[in-house]
């Protein structure tokens, strides 16, 4: 998942970036409101963490600007002042949830995951498609009753495909949302990971969970098993 | 406005009363003078008419003319230059008789005997004229007994005695008026000084309170000022109590932060890695303390004159916002607050209180939150949920006002204690009970419409 962090405090920003990266996300960080809006305009994100007290352009104005650009990504606001006025104005401006500083990183990750999952239309942390179940809270994949051993990157590819199972995901989109900006963007690497995932999820080759849509990309759409 | 408000109260009162006094007395003087003069002139007319009547009565027929007895009723007619004259002329304007006071007079008085040519008088009627220095009365009559002869009777009085009466009246009037003005102005100055004395006393006491020589404004004021004095006293009380609260909060904060800091220092110098759990606990404690004390400090400011706020639209905004934040939980939230209900509370504070209470309700409910309201001199807002509720033995503890930060559990405890603190600063209150929905009912009481 690709997450945008807009936070002016360098210490907290570094912690947020590190933590969200550890959780398997691609993270861009902006130190002020203007930079945040620039990132939001130039790239597509799956979620944003926005501090309300930002220099140059406050958080409320950033949220309004992002919504004004037609961005429907879920936004989590951070606020040091625990005033309800701020929370309500933030939510009214288009934010989806709030956290009051100081907060626990686990709480932030859980809220962010829930937001991204809901944005894709999944209410529960466990997403089930056919015989496949993906536990986004515990980062586990199961086929039937058996757990599937996946590497961190394999899981991220699978998670993105499962969360967006309703549509076709192009290779470029996968690269954009799963790789750092400066990463060598070789689409062959994606093909290799898809191949590995197919073998791990469907060793017998009768469920065919990840389909290739010619000229467009991939879609997670397994055969309905009895 | 800024310009006019610079004029002092004393000056305003004195200026207006002087203006009114000047206008009133001027008008009175003018009316008195007018009516006195009119009375004097009417008196002169009456006197001249009477003279003509007495001449008519004394006239005797003498062929085609009239004859008058040698001595007349009024001795002034007999005396030359006496100031009272009379004459009678016939239809041709020829003077057939004139009083002795005219006969030996100067040329000007000789002129008086003649009937002016512009006189157009119907027989049987009077005409009165004010000429240069004289009052003149004419009467025309047709003497029927002797071939219907026409005669004009003419009586003249000098104005001088009348004018001098008027002048003397005016002198007396002016003197009297001046005395009245002096007396009234003096009374006015005294009234203003007496009337404004309490204001001066009040200002002096405010200065004394500022300087620390006094603690209260006192209550010995006229009813118009006692409300203001009460409000000032209330301000002073709030100032003192918020200073006390501030000091207590600082003491609490120092106490409850220094202990964990000591633990930190010791743990760091010991260098044991297994102390991490301990440090984490202490850190949590400090965090809770900071959050709690900051919220208390915010609540601990005096609220004396709050505006009016309608809770209905505020509640709607909060419900909408919380629905967004709690979208994962399928909560049915509704409120029955009348749209026209208002209560005495700052909007931000009310949002703070309702926000905390509604968030708790959203957090702990199973699926239903209902907000109700009861108006009156005390507005009662109830927040019901269908969650697990708060056990009876915890209810008091959860609300404990001024509870020390390190004894309050994090989570809903802090929120409710802050609401209780805020409500009490508005002389309201917060209670927890059981809801008909099965969960907790939190009741927030705030001052409402006093009328």
pLDDT digit string (tens) for B257-266? Answer: 777 777 777 6
Q: Please, are residues B335 and B382 in contact by the beta-carbon 8 Å criterion?
A: no
Q: Is A88 in the B-facing interface, judged by CB distances under 8 Å?
A: yes
- pLDDT attached to residue B216: 84
Nearest Cα neighbor of B109 from B126, B130, B92, B84 is: B84
Q: Which of B291, B328, B352 sits opposite A83 (nearest CB)?
A: B352
Q: Which residues of chain B have pLDDT under 50?
A: 1-2, 401-412, 451
B409-448 pLDDT, tens digit per residue, is 444 456 787 788 888 888 888 888 888 988 889 999 988 8
Which of chain B's residues have a Cβ under 8 Å away from the Cβ of A98? 325
- pLDDT attached to residue B412: 46
- pLDDT attached to residue B450: 58
Quote the longest CA-to-CA distance of chain A.
58
Q: Do A123 and B328 touch (CB under 8 A)?
A: yes
Q: Is B280 in the A-facing interface, judged by CB distances under 8 Å?
A: no
What CA–CA distance (Å, rounded) separates B220 from B179? Answer: 37
Q: Is A110 in the B-facing interface, judged by CB distances under 8 Å?
A: no
Q: Do A118 and B295 touch (CB under 8 A)?
A: no
Sign of torsion over alpha carbons A135, A139, A144, A147? negative
DSSP code of A225?
P
Using left for φ > 0, alpha for ψ between -120 and 50, and beta otherwise, residue B213 falls in: alpha
- pLDDT attached to residue A226: 37
- By DSSP bridging, strand A47-51 and strand A2-6 are parallel
User: Which residue of B321, B323, B354 is the best one to mutate when testing the A interface, meaning the one whose CB has the most A CBs within 10 A?
Assistant: B321
Structure tokens at A21: 């990266």
What CA–CA distance (Å, rounded) separates B366 from B329? Answer: 9
- pLDDT attached to residue A79: 83
Q: Which residues of chain A have pLDDT under 70?
A: 81-82, 181-187, 223-226
- pLDDT attached to residue B411: 44
- pLDDT attached to residue B444: 92
Q: Which of A85, A96, A123 sits opposite B348 (nearest CB)?
A: A85
Nearest CA in chain A to B283: A102
How far is B351 from chain A, CA to nearest CA, in Å?
A: 6
How far is A226 from chain B, CA to nearest CA, in Å?
A: 31
Query: What are the Cα distances from residue B185, in Å, to A20, A28, B9, B15, B16?
Result: 86, 84, 16, 11, 12
DSSP code of B71?
S
Nearest CA in chain B to A111: B325
Q: Is B355 in the A-facing interface, judged by CB distances under 8 Å?
A: yes
- pLDDT attached to residue B409: 43
What CA–CA distance (Å, rounded) separates A209 from B54? Answer: 146
A48 burial (CB, 10 Å; 0-12 / 13-18 / 19+) is buried
Sign of torsion over alpha carbons B233, B236, B241, B244? negative
Q: Do A84 and B356 touch (CB under 8 A)?
A: yes
- pLDDT attached to residue B408: 41
Q: Is A87 in the B-facing interface, judged by CB distances under 8 Å?
A: yes
């Amino acid at each position: 998942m690709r997450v945008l962090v807009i936070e002016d405090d360098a210490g907290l920003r570094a912690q947020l970036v590190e933590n969200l990266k550890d959780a398997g996300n691609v993270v861009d960080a902006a130190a002020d409101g203007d930079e945040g809006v620039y990132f939001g305009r130039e790239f597509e994100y799956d979620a944003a963490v926005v501090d309300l007290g930002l220099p140059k352009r406050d958080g409320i104005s950033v949220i309004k600007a992002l919504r004004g650009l037609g961005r429907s990504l879920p936004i989590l606001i951070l606020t040091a002042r625990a005033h309800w006025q701020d929370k309500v104005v933030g939510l009214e401006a288009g934010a989806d949830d709030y956290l009051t500083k100081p907060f626990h990183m686990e709480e932030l990750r859980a809220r962010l995951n829930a937001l991204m999952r809901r944005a894709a239309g999944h209410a529960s942390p466990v997403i089930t498609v056919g015989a496949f179940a993906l536990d986004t809270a515990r980062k586990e994949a199961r086929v039937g009753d058996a757990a599937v051993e996946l590497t961190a990157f394999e899981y991220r590819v699978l998670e993105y495909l499962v969360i967006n199972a309703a549509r076709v995901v192009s290779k470029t989109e996968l690269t954009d949302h799963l790789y750092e900006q400066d990463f060598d963007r070789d689409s062959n690497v994606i093909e290799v990971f898809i191949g590995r995932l197919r073998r791990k999820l469907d060793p017998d080759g009768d469920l065919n969970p990840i389909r290739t849509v010619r000229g467009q990309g991939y879609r997670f759409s397994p055969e309905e098993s009895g | 406005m800024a310009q006019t408000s610079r004029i002092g109260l004393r000056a305003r009162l004195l200026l207006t009363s002087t203006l009114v006094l000047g206008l009133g007395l001027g008008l009175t003087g003018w009316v008195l003078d007018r009516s006195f003069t009119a009375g004097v002139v009417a008196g002169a007319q009456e006197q001249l008419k009477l003279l003509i009547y007495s001449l008519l009565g004394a006239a005797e027929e003498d062929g085609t003319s009239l004859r008058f007895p040698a001595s007349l009723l009024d001795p002034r007619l007999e005396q030359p230059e006496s100031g009272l004259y009379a004459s009678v002329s016939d239809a041709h304007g020829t003077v057939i008789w004139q009083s002795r006071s005219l006969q030996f007079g100067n040329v000007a008085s000789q002129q008086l005997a003649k009937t002016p040519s512009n006189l157009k008088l119907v027989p049987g009627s009077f005409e009165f004229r004010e000429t240069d220095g004289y009052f003149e009365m004419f009467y025309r009559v047709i003497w029927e007994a002797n071939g219907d002869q026409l005669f004009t009777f003419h009586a003249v009085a000098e104005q001088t005695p009348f004018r001098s009466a008027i002048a003397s009246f005016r002198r007396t009037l002016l003197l009297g008026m001046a005395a009245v003005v002096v007396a009234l102005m003096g009374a006015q100055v005294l009234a203003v000084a007496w009337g404004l004395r309490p204001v001066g006393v009040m200002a002096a006491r405010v200065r004394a309170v500022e300087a620390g020589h006094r603690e209260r404004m006192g209550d010995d004021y006229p009813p118009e000022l006692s409300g203001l004095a009460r409000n000032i006293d209330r301000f002073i009380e709030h100032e003192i109590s918020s200073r006390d609260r501030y000091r207590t909060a600082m003491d609490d904060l120092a106490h409850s932060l220094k202990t964990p800091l000591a633990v930190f220092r010791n743990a760091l110098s010991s260098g044991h890695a297994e102390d991490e759990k301990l440090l984490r606990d202490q850190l949590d404690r400090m965090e809770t303390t900071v959050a709690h004390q900051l919220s208390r400090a915010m609540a601990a400011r005096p609220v004396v004159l709050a505006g009016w706020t309608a809770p209905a639209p505020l509640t709607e905004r909060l419900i909408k916002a919380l629905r967004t934040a709690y979208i994962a939980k399928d909560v049915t939230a509704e409120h029955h607050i009348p749209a026209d209900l208002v209560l005495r509370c700052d909007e931000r504070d009310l949002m703070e209180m309702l926000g905390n209470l509604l968030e708790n309700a959203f957090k702990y409910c199973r699926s239903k939150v209902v907000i109700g309201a009861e108006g009156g001199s005390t507005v009662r807002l109830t927040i019901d949920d269908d969650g697990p509720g708060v056990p009876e033995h915890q209810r008091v503890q959860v609300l404990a006002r001024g509870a020390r930060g390190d004894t309050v559990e994090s989570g809903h405890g802090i929120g409710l204690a802050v609401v209780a603190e805020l409500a009490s600063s508005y002389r309201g209150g917060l209670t927890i009970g059981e809801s008909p929905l099965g969960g907790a009912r939190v009741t927030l009481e705030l001052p409402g419409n006093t009328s």
